Amino acid sequence: MKEIITAVIGAGFIGAVHIETIRRLGKVRIVALCDANGAEEKAAQFGIEQVFTDYREMIDSCDLDAVHICTPNFTHYEIAKYAIGHGVNFICEKPFTTTVEQAEELIALANEKGVKGAVNFHNRLYPVTNEMRQMISGGELGEIFTVHGEYIQDWLLYETDYSWRLDKSQVGKTRAIADIGSHWMDLAEFVSCMRIKRVNAKFRTVYPVRKKPTGEVLTFASAGADQEYEEIPIDTEDEAVVLFEFENGALGTMLVSMVYAGRKNTTTLAVSGSKKALKWDSEDLNNLWIGYREKANEVLTKDASLLHPLAARLGSYPSGHIEGFADAFKNVFRQFYGSLTDPDGVYEYATLEDGLREMKLCDAVFESAKSETWVEV
Ligand SMILES: NC(=O)c1ccc[n+]([C@@H]2O[C@H](COP(=O)([O-])OP(=O)(O)OC[C@H]3O[C@@H](n4cnc5c(N)ncnc54)[C@H](O)[C@@H]3O)[C@@H](O)[C@H]2O)c1
């Protein structure tokens, strides 16, 4: 395989995960880093030679095969558009864009230019979540009756918690739904092999006014005790419940919350069918619970010899050696870069169309919460 040349835009929380993970791939080299803040310091920290504060300059001057877009949501559209315009493939953090129209425009442009893109819905590429999909697509669960779960966090529990994610102009119409609900809905559709037909949502903004620290506070960090604040009105949801009806008639529910004490980043997904049921929990992500009516329940632990080949290939270490968050990113990146050099392979990363699908689901959820009615996707 020829060496692939890439660069990372945005080296905050998730950009750092991208940089470390790209380096585990082998034949993909990071030649440049772009960040609007503290770029020199971050590049020195990661040992990246070329440093930029403007992604346009970076794309113009480096001969890149791809870029990783790891900046706040509202910037994804303009950066992806620039990359596509210059024939550069890209892996974009979720959510793909902040509107359906932007996502549609980028897909049309990418098709026209022959550029490939992925959206980093990494939860589908854990060995165990992927095993759920393979079991369901193989008919092991029979007819699917329900799909339910949650994505809950506590990093916005206090009214003094603040980040760019609370600013609608930077995240889009929804916050908890776009940020974490999008992960859950992508996983639910991917794993269940079913499409959501309509949604009924209820939002709650626990703090209609938050106290924003006047100094800088990083995502998932708390402000210091001597911090001063300004009061900021909040118009996006801290928590939401969503009912789903799937195309085959199956029912579903999702709880998302950024104000759930003690839950740092918990995702669960449970699917029940006419033959058996499955449940996955991100806090125990190498194990799959399998439920039966006629015999004792089982726990399947990640082990290449026990998994479907498509799921087994997502594990890098022997059974009993825990793999997690960054390993799922590695699977997304490995599959995406594999698809550039070997387009005929079997890949399950989220494509730009999957990113668009998520934008449509988030929009339907938003419209439903606003109108307090069922909304078709
Ligand atoms: N896949 C996941 O599980 C996951 C997890 C966290 C975040 N994300 C996504 O990653 C993105 C970034 O989130 P984060 O938590 O890393 O945010 P962050 O605030 O920690 O980092 C964002 C970085 O982007 C830089 N930046 C902002 N605008 C820029 C621009 N125009 N050009 C260059 N750099 C710019 C900032 O200086 C900062 O370093 C978001 O879209 C978020 O939804 C995904």
**What string of pLDDT tens digits covers the 377 residues of the chain?**
579 999 999 999 999 999 999 999 999 999 999 999 999 999 999 999 999 999 999 999 999 999 999 999 999 999 999 999 999 999 999 999 999 999 999 999 999 999 999 999 999 999 999 999 999 999 999 999 999 999 999 999 999 999 999 999 999 999 999 999 999 999 999 999 999 999 999 999 999 999 998 876 666 666 666 778 999 999 999 999 999 999 999 999 999 999 999 999 999 999 999 999 999 999 999 999 999 999 999 999 999 999 999 999 999 999 999 999 999 999 999 999 999 999 999 999 999 999 999 999 999 999 999 999 999 99
**57 CB within 6 A, ligand 1:** no
Determine the distance separating the centroid of ligand 1 and the alpha carbon of 304, expressed in angstroms: 34
CATH numbers and ranges of domains, the chain: 4-115 (3.40.50.720), 127-319+352-376 (3.30.360.10)
The closest residue, in CA terms, to atom 9 on ligand 1 is 93
Number of the ligand 1 atom closest to the C-alpha atom of 16: 16
Determine the distance separating the centroid of ligand 1 and the alpha carbon of 71, expressed in angstroms: 3
The reported pLDDT for the residue numbered 6 is 98
The closest residue, in CA terms, to atom 5 on ligand 1 is 14
Determine the distance separating the centroid of ligand 1 and the alpha carbon of 268, expressed in angstroms: 24
**73 CB within 6 A, ligand 1:** yes
The reported pLDDT for the residue numbered 337 is 98
> Helix/strand/coil (H, E, C) string of the chain?
CCCEEEEEECCCHHHHHHHHHHCCCCCEEEEEEECCCCHHHHHHHHCCCEEECCHHHHHHHCCCCEEEECCCHHHHHHHHHHHHHCCCEEEECCCCCCCHHHHHHHHHHHHHHCCCEEECCHHHHCHHHHHHHHHHHCCCCCCEEEEEEEEECCCCCCCCCCCHHHCHHHHCCCCHHHHHHHHHHHHHHHHHCCCEEEEEEEEECCCCEEEEECCCCCCCCCCCCCCCEEEEECCCCCEEEEEEEECCCCEEEEEEECCCCCCCCEEEEEEEECCCEEEEEHHHCCEEEEECCCCCCEEEECCCCCCCHHHHCCCCCCCCCCCCHHHHHHHHHHHHHHHHHCCCCCCCCEEHHHHHHHHHHHHHHHHHHHHCCCEEC
The reported pLDDT for the residue numbered 217 is 63
For a ligand 1 pocket test, name from 59, 93, 163, 333 the mutation site with the most ligand atoms within 8 angstroms of its C-beta.
93
For a ligand 1 pocket test, name from 37, 56, 70 the mutation site with the most ligand atoms within 8 angstroms of its C-beta.
70
The closest residue, in CA terms, to atom 40 on ligand 1 is 72
The reported pLDDT for the residue numbered 214 is 85
pTM for the model: 0.96
Number of the ligand 1 atom closest to the C-alpha atom of 164: 19
Determine the distance separating the centroid of ligand 1 and the alpha carbon of 153, expressed in angstroms: 18
